[in-house]
Structure 1
Amino acid sequence: MKKIIITLILLTPIGSFSEQWHILGTRPMGMGGAFVAMAEGPLAQYWNPAGLAQVSSQNVSGVDIPVGVSLEMTGGIMANANEIGDLAEQFSSIQSAQEGGTALDAKQVSAFVKTLTLLEDMNQSGKGILLETAAGVNFKFSKISVSVNNFTTIGLNPYIDSTNISLDTDGGSIQGIDFTGVTTDASDFTTPEQTSAAATIKSAIDTIGYAQLSAIFENLGTITDAQTLANAIVSQALTANLTDAQITAAANTISEYAADVAPIIQNVTSGNPYTENESNLSIAGGNFTEVAFGYGQQVDWLSGLSIGGNLKAINGRIVDTTFAFMSNSETGDIFDDITDNAKSSWKPALDVGFLWDVNQKYSKWPMKPRFGLVVRNINSPKFDGPISGSYQLDRQIRFGLAFSPANFWHVAMDMDLTKNKTAVDGFNSRQLALGTEINLINKKSFNLPLRLGLSKNMAESDSKLTYTAGTGLNFLYMHLDVSAGIGSDKTEIDGTKYPNKLEVAASFGLLF
């Protein structure tokens, strides 16, 4: 039940479409996403087209076929969903009480108050799910490159309706919460813990507002004020055979969330029963297929400096749809809506890159420093959207720095110079990446690389590090590589910790 609750909660909405920098290729992913100043081989066209012209024994021609996927839970949404999942059993009992016209005990009221707060928190900006894929075929012939790459982004943002969840009747089969017959006499309490719990709940009700809280119940019976409502809640807990420890814990939870839930309860009093809840799933995404022609050339006026560019034709397929899952019975409707509402269009785009191999100008500088800068989608192409007029693919600028302490050892760093929006509304991306590659066996006929890296999203203050690793087997002209990344931020669910970010990639190539 809990896993079902978490799954349903995570399937929720988003606004206009944008993209962060995609990690294309196993070698860059294994190095944390740092490759702008190391751009070479067929993937140079994407990472920095100036790398097509660099003079290097590793700047080979050939074909590279990368495939990668990334999944990220943003803004702590998985933790929210997990906490709500923990309350699933109590929420089911609240629903049964509403349908049957019975009262709520302290544990149920605490679950209701806490769940309302968690649900409202899920509507905060930056909370959602981000799914990205990057794959393609990249050819390089000397300084010229041709590629067909696909970049797909799907974003989900939560909108949870915390207004239309009233606990009174709907005028039909829903009877509403009814405290008729529940004792409100504090003299029935037999222990100091029960009396103390009632006092704690009474104080919390004062914070929430007795008039607002009582308005969401169908029938109050003999309840007339905050104290008698608190007494009734404790009495109902005793009827449900809760222990003093359970009642005390529930009272403390109600008190803890009272201030946060007060404005939510105010809205609930003007809402409808949960049967008219308007929670929905919104999906926004873009599927961009880039057909690119790239060229790099060294300049005469500064030794080691090369400039490159890509001329691209991009097919953008934009999706922006909303699925009201509380009123739709067919899950398949989601996929039908995505298919029906997708809008496709072709637009031109241009990339430009710069790469300077310092040693070609200053041969005595140690560790072979390189500096790179790339600007993708300079013209910010706009694609036809299914709802509004157009969706813009924003310009991206990324800087890179690389060193080679030895022929078999490389170190690189990348930094986004632009703050890139993502498909999760309110969640921005500005990646700082650091990585290294050590060729454990460094022969032309056989190469065994080990790659390690880390990255951090500097645009989000609560972002944690992502650790990456990769390896491969390069034999003669063929290479097969794999890489993966895992976020250090984890959420514990049923005793097992799950990372909030995962990414994997694989590639096959023929290089000569």
Structure 2
Amino acid sequence: MGPRAMAMGGAHTAIAEGPVASYYNPGALGQVISNPSGFELQTSGRFEINGEVIEGANDFYEVANQCRREAPAAVCNNVELSKAALKLRNPGGEGALAEAVGGLNLKFGRLAFFSNTFAFRGVTPDVDSGASLTVASLPNNRTNLRVRGASYYEFGVGYGHEILETGLFLGTNVKGIVGRTGFTDLPLTRENPELGAVIRNYDRSTNVSFMPGVDVGLLWDARESFPDVWGRPRVGFVGRNVNAPAFNQPARARELHDRYRYYNLQGQSRMGVALDPHRRWTVAVDFDITQNLTMVERHTSRLYAAGTELRLVDDPTFAIPLRGGVSKNIAQGNSGTLWTMGFGLHFMHFFMDFAAAIPERWHRVQSIGGVERLPHQFGLSAQLALLFGGTESIAEPNRDPFSTAPARTPKASSSTAPLNRDPFRR
């Protein structure tokens, strides 16, 4: 969520700051250095196609459609139908995924408030293996695309704090989650598997339920413990939805199998490390600890991400950060590499950031009735923000307004530079 993270491949656990830190690592809300307050408004979208499923679905529908129209045997024949069905047989978690995210995040000192929406859709083939697959049997064939999805509206509060001036920050989010789950079948003998048909069918069978959720985060900033350390090393950990909230599925899902009775928003954990080789340059790496479920059956996700940010212009009144990164799902052998990039335009307190994710390869999504191709993966993200504070000093400018304790005394430094100032850090 957010263009800075997307542009850096998703590597954000150890460099989260500002209002959106409540999502990436609530422990980062307690930082004293480079941790502005204000609001951030983000939106992101991404889709992913794996294997030949979408091509098979389009081809299967095209053959069935041409047979209904009594088209020439060049298209309406058993050979073309069998080819399409073979592409649909989903040998190992193949299908299509789409997600959209939008949210508003507010931060005041170490306290954050958030209101975010996450929408996920997954398409998995379901081939009618009990029927004889011939052109003559098409009217009775029940081959379909199984559409699963969920939309989650999260609202809550996050807080982070340093533990005994060790440079170790602990944070947590407490939130309410309204989950709207959907589950339906799209019959390929009658329905064109286009986006509009998927949405129409999905909305026919949904269920809404509510559950609480809890996130936890840890961040260790080495410069808080060792003021003279080079590069400001950081290590971060986040556990999302550690209570594993489960949401009721629609009646159609429960009819098919007991395992579809609930959709479990499983707990996820992730780690990250970061380093600033120069005051204008940040490098970060993230990796998933857990192997995560997706909306496509048997398709799991465990991401490795690496990214960098170079602040090409870095002035208090105007800044241009350039970002790049790479991401790969190491849980799926057929997953390609995703390359990411983005930039920001920062005018004093007003921030605009943009990002895109592009794949290393494209997929053919139709071969009968015309050849069409789409990227294996693709994503876009944008953000508007109004941010204040986030100074280098650990004294009063970034002081928690909710604390009554005396201001913290900066640690002594052997450097002749100002206290707590790293010459290789912005």
Question: Is residue 288 from structure 1 mapped to residue 147 from structure 2 by the alignment?
Answer: no
Aligned match of 2:240: 376
Secondary structure of 2:203's counterpart equals helix
1:148/1:290 contact within 8 Å kept: yes
Q: Give deviations 1:41-93, integer Å, cap 9, x for gaps.
A: 0110000001011122x3100000000000111234356568x48x96xx589
1:421/1:428 contact within 8 Å kept: yes
1:120/1:160 contact within 8 Å kept: no
Distance 1:335 1:455 in 2: 29
- What is the aligned counterpart of 1:151 among 101, 118, 131? 118
In structure 2, relative to structure 1, the CA distance for the partners of 1:402 and 1:330 (3 Å cut) is closer
Question: How far did 1:340 drift?
Answer: 4.1
Aligned match of 1:500: 376
Question: Is residue 129 from structure 1 mapped to residue 96 from structure 2 by the alignment?
Answer: yes
Aligned match of 2:415: none
Question: How far did 1:132 drift?
Answer: 0.2
Question: How far did 1:408 drift?
Answer: 1.1
Aligned match of 1:304: 167
Distance 2:213 2:53 in 1: 35
- What is the aligned counterpart of 1:318 among 158, 181, 185? 181
In structure 2, relative to structure 1, the CA distance for the partners of 1:344 and 1:509 (3 Å cut) is same
1:164/1:274 contact within 8 Å kept: no
Aligned match of 1:347: 211
Aligned match of 1:69: 45
In structure 2, relative to structure 1, the CA distance for the partners of 1:63 and 1:46 (3 Å cut) is same
Question: Is residue 39 from structure 1 mapped to residue 3 from structure 2 by the alignment?
Answer: no
**What does 1:79-478 align with in structure 2 at a 5 Å threshold?**
80=56, 84=59, 95=67, 112-113=78-79, 115-124=81-90, 125-161=92-128, 164=131, 166-167=133-134, 273-300=137-164, 303-326=166-189, 337-387=201-251, 388=254, 389-478=261-350
In structure 2, relative to structure 1, the CA distance for the partners of 1:504 and 1:303 (3 Å cut) is same
Distance 1:303 1:317 in 2: 42
In structure 2, relative to structure 1, the CA distance for the partners of 1:481 and 1:437 (3 Å cut) is same
Distance 2:50 2:330 in 1: 14
Distance 1:411 1:479 in 2: 21
Q: TM-score, normalised by structure 2?
A: 0.80
Secondary structure of 1:378's counterpart equals coil
Distance 2:188 2:134 in 1: 20
Question: How far did 1:390 drift?
Answer: 2.3
Give % identity. 33
Distance 2:373 2:202 in 1: 32
1:78/1:491 contact within 8 Å kept: no
Secondary structure of 2:166's counterpart equals coil
In structure 2, relative to structure 1, the CA distance for the partners of 1:366 and 1:309 (3 Å cut) is same
Q: Give deviations 1:211-270, integer Å, cap 9, x for gaps.
A: xxxxxxxxxxxxxxxxxxxxxxxxxxxxxxxxxxxxxxxxxxxxxxxxxxxxxxxxxxxx
- After TM superposition, the structure 1 stretch with the greater mean CA deviation from structure 2, 416-425 or 328-337, is 328-337
Secondary structure of 1:46's counterpart equals helix
1:74/1:427 contact within 8 Å kept: no
Distance 1:378 1:93 in 2: 47
Question: Is residue 59 from structure 1 mapped to residue 71 from structure 2 by the alignment?
Answer: no
1:155/1:424 contact within 8 Å kept: yes
In structure 2, relative to structure 1, the CA distance for the partners of 1:165 and 1:93 (3 Å cut) is farther
RMSD: 3.0
Return the index of the structure with the highest Cα Rg.
Answer: 1
Secondary structure of 1:286's counterpart equals strand
Question: How far did 1:362 drift?
Answer: 2.9
Distance 1:151 1:421 in 2: 15
Distance 2:319 2:212 in 1: 39
In structure 2, relative to structure 1, the CA distance for the partners of 1:30 and 1:166 (3 Å cut) is closer
Secondary structure of 1:374's counterpart equals strand
Distance 1:135 1:112 in 2: 46
Secondary structure of 2:128's counterpart equals coil
Secondary structure of 1:51's counterpart equals helix
Distance 1:371 1:298 in 2: 14
In structure 2, relative to structure 1, the CA distance for the partners of 1:330 and 1:72 (3 Å cut) is closer
Aligned match of 2:418: none
How many corresponding residue pairs? 374
Question: Is residue 48 from structure 1 mapped to residue 25 from structure 2 by the alignment?
Answer: yes
1:132/1:152 contact within 8 Å kept: yes
- Give the letter aligned to residue 62 of structure 1: G
- Give the letter aligned to residue 105 of structure 2: N
In structure 2, stretches of 5+ residues that fail to align are 255-260, 389-426
Distance 1:324 1:113 in 2: 20
Question: How far did 1:282 drift?
Answer: 2.2
Distance 2:84 2:373 in 1: 20
Distance 2:12 2:313 in 1: 21
- Give the letter aligned to residue 65 of structure 1: L
In structure 1, stretches of 5+ residues that fail to align are 1-23, 170-272
